[in-house]
Amino acid sequence: MKSLQLALTALCLLSALWLVVLIIRDRTPDRFVLNALAVVEVGLLVNMVLGIVRVTSEANDVAAWEYVAYLVGATLILPAGVVWSLGERTRGGTAVLLAAALLVPFMFVRLSDIWAGVA
């Protein structure tokens, strides 16, 4: 699960970088970045399944509802971002995708904080 999250984080940061370039050049999201985010979304669904299995099978003192809420929340960010972004095909719409792409790694940090009992 850790290596999956690291790979997804890398993909998100690369997408974010490309989105910054698109925003500077005043472009709308291209096929390239949308495909990358689609791959991330598939990974997030796998991550959610792995996480739910982990929290229900392994011994832990994590608040299960909180952990699962974050797992599910992480899968909703990109679809919500894409829908909201496509509603306005401008630089602002591209920036929405950038925010969504940066939010995913943040959710991973929260997830491991919750698992470690920090948050």
Note the residues at the interface with other proteins (CB under 8 A). Answer: 65-66, 69, 73, 77, 80-81, 84-85, 87-88, 90-93, 95-96, 99-100, 103, 106, 119
Shortest Cβ distance from residue 30 to other proteins (Å)?
A: 18
Rank residues 11 and 74 by Cβ distance to other proteins and give the closer one. Answer: 74
* Closest to other proteins by CB, 3 or 20: 20
> Backbone dihedral region of 75: left (phi > 0), alpha (psi from -120 to 50 degrees) or beta?
alpha
- Nearer to other proteins by Cβ, of 30 and 88: the residue is 88
> What would you report as the CA-atom Rg of the chain, rounded to the nearest whole angstrom?
15
Rounded Cα distance, 108 and 6, in Å: 9
CA nearest neighbour of 37 among 81, 84, 5 = 81
Q: How far apart are CB 100 and other proteins at their closest, in Å?
A: 7
Inter-residue contact 42 to 82 (CB < 8 Å): no
